[in-house]
Amino acid sequence: MRSIYEIVAGLEQRGIEAALCIITETHGSTPLKEGAKMVVCRNKKMFGTIGGGNLEKQVIEDALAVMESGKPEIFEHQLVRDHQMCCGGSVFVFIEPVRKRNKLIVFGAGHVGKEVVRLSQSLNFQISLVDERSEMLNGLEWGDAKIFNMHHNEFLSNVVFDVNTFIVICTHLHHYDREILAQCIKQPSAYLGMIGSMRKVVVTRKTFIKQEWASEDELSKVDMPMGFDIGGNSPAEIAISIVAKLVAVMNGRILKINNEEKISYTYAGQDRDNNRCW
C-alpha cells in the first residue's frame, strides 16, 4: 500500500484539491487511535480511514468545509453525543487542506527570466519556462521545471489557465511581451505581470485601449512594471522583486492594486534613467 503522504504528494502534483485528516487525540473507547489518517478529495473520494461510521461521515463534511476556507482546523467529536456511536469516547481530528500546486509560466529565458525560475524552485510552483531561442535554453536544468523551446504562440495554443496560474512576461522583444499580454489578459489567473520601463507601460496601456484588446479594468489588474521597488536594478535584484510579489499574491497579501498605487512603488525592470528594461 502507498503511504498516505505519497498519495498527498500525487494529488498536489496533479492539482487535485483535497484535505488531510489526522486523529491527534483520543479519550476512552474509539474505533481508531492517534495517528490514523484519511485523505478526502473534493468529489468525496477517500484514501485511508479514521474509523468509519457516522464519525467518518462528519469528518468528510468537515474536510470539504476546510477545503472551502483554505484554513486548517481541529474538530472535537463526542462519539455518543455527536454521532450516536456506542464506543463512548472522544476524538480530536486535525484537518489540513492539501494545496493545489500553483502554475508559474515564465515567458523569456533572459537574465531576469532565468533568475525568476531559479528563485521559484523552492516555492509551491509547477514551473514552465518558454523561449524560442534554443541558445538561451541549452544546458538549463532546474529540478522539475519544464522548459519549452518554442514560440509563445505555440505554447499558448495548448496551455490551460486557471485561478492558480501565475504569469511572468519578460521576453527579449517588446512586441512579444504585448502579444503574450494580449492573449493572457482575458484568461483566469492568480497573477499577470509584464516587465518594462514606465514608458513601455504607458504605450502598452494606450495601445490596448485604442485597439480594444482590453478594458481599463482588465489593465488595472496587470502588474506592470512588475515586482516591488526594492531599490535594485540588476537582473538578480529585479527577479527578487518579482518573486516577492508572487509570494505576496500567493499568501493573500495583495489582491488588487489600483494603477496609481502600483506605479508609485513598482519599478522592476526599469533602470534609473527610465530608458532600459531587462
Per domain, the residue ranges of the chain are 4-98, 102-265
Asked if residue 104 lies in contact with residue 246, where contact means CB atoms within 8 angstroms, the answer is: yes
Q: CA of 196: how far to CAs of 43, 170, 210, in Å?
A: 43, 8, 20
C-alpha cell at 166: 501565475
Cα dihedral 260, 265, 270, 272 sign = positive
pLDDT score at 88: 79
Q: Render each residue's pLDDT in the chain as its tens digit; 278 residues.
A: 578 889 998 888 777 889 999 999 999 988 899 999 999 999 999 999 998 889 999 999 999 999 988 889 999 999 888 888 777 789 999 999 987 778 999 999 999 999 999 999 888 788 999 999 999 988 777 777 889 999 999 999 999 898 889 999 999 999 999 999 999 999 999 999 999 888 999 999 999 999 999 999 999 899 999 988 888 788 899 999 999 999 999 887 764 444 433 333 333 333 333 333 33
C-alpha cell at 131: 523561449
Tell me which residue of 198, 201, 125, 132 sits closest to 171, measured CA to CA.
132
With 0.75 as the threshold, say if the pTM is over it: no
Please list the residues that pair with 20 across neighbouring strands.
39, 96
Query: Element (H or E) spanning 201, and its range?
Result: helix 198-210
Tell me which residue of 158, 157, 228, 154 sits closest to 191, measured CA to CA.
228
Architecture of domain 102-265: 3-Layer(aba) Sandwich (3.40)
- Secondary structure class of 277 (helix, strand, coil): coil
Q: Which residue type sits at 47?
A: F
Maximum Cα interatomic distance, the chain, rounded to a whole number of Å: 76
pLDDT score at 257: 44
Instruction: Give the Cα separation of 130 and 151 in Å (integer).
Output: 8
> For residue 12, which phi and psi values (nearest 5 degrees)?
-60, -45
The single residue listed with the C-alpha cell 485601449 is: 209
Q: How many CB atoms within 10 Å of residue 83?
A: 18
Per-position DSSP letters for 168-211, written without gaps between them: EE--SSHHHHHHHHHHHTTS--SEEEE---HHHHHHHHHHHHHT
Cα dihedral 263, 160, 158, 145 sign = positive
- Secondary structure class of 135 (helix, strand, coil): helix
Please list the residues that pair with 91 across neighbouring strands.
26, 77
